[in-house]
Amino acid sequence: METLVLNLETVNLTDAQFDALCQKNRDWKFERTVKGELIIMSPVGGMSGGREASLISLLWLWNDRTNLGIVFSSSTIFRLPNGGDRSPDAAWIELSRWENLTLAEKEGFPPICPDFVIELRSRTDSLKLLKEKMEEYLD
């Protein structure tokens, strides 16, 4: 299945509504762009999942040796400062930045932009949309 992008500018989906949508539809992966679009993605296939797992493993091994931060999988949605809700394939946050978050922020969608992200392009990913997503991490 291709990624679906819905323009929800006129709907004004609140953070609480977005959180509830994600919780009620766990078989789907949702993101929200800074422009107010809802992105709906299906689960990845075996090859993409394997590449993602390999990269997360390498990032985790490096972090385990250095103890500099926290590693996250693609299951984590980050509430970015620019208003987007994004889920990179792998992410890392420096430990002191993570520790500055409250327990509630850590348990929900953390309101922080990761220090390092990895985005893998699968067969169904649009290069244009992936570049736009990467720009949101830089904003």
Residue 56 neighbours by CB under 8 Å, 6+ apart: 71, 73, 89, 90
Contact 120, 51 (CB under 8 A): yes
What is the rounded CA–CA span in Å between residue 104 and residue 45? 32
The pLDDT confidence band at residue 131, using thresholds 50, 70 and 90, is very high
Mean pLDDT over the full length of the chain: 92
What is the rounded CA–CA span in Å between residue 46 and residue 57? 16
The pLDDT score that the predictor gives to residue 51 is 92
Range of the domain at 121: 4-138
The pLDDT confidence band at residue 27, using thresholds 50, 70 and 90, is confident
Residue 6 neighbours by CB under 8 Å, 6+ apart: 37, 38, 39, 40
- Look at residue 89 and give its three-state secondary structure: coil
The pLDDT score that the predictor gives to residue 106 is 98
Q: How many domains does the chain have?
A: 1
For the beta sheet containing 37-41, the strands, ordered from the edge strand earlier in sequence to the opposite edge, are 4-7, 37-41, 29-32, 85-86, 78-79
Statement: residue 1 has pLDDT above 80: no
Q: What is the CATH number of the domain that holds 111?
A: 3.90.1570.10
The pLDDT confidence band at residue 44, using thresholds 50, 70 and 90, is confident
Statement: residue 23 has pLDDT above 90: yes
Contact 60, 5 (CB under 8 A): no
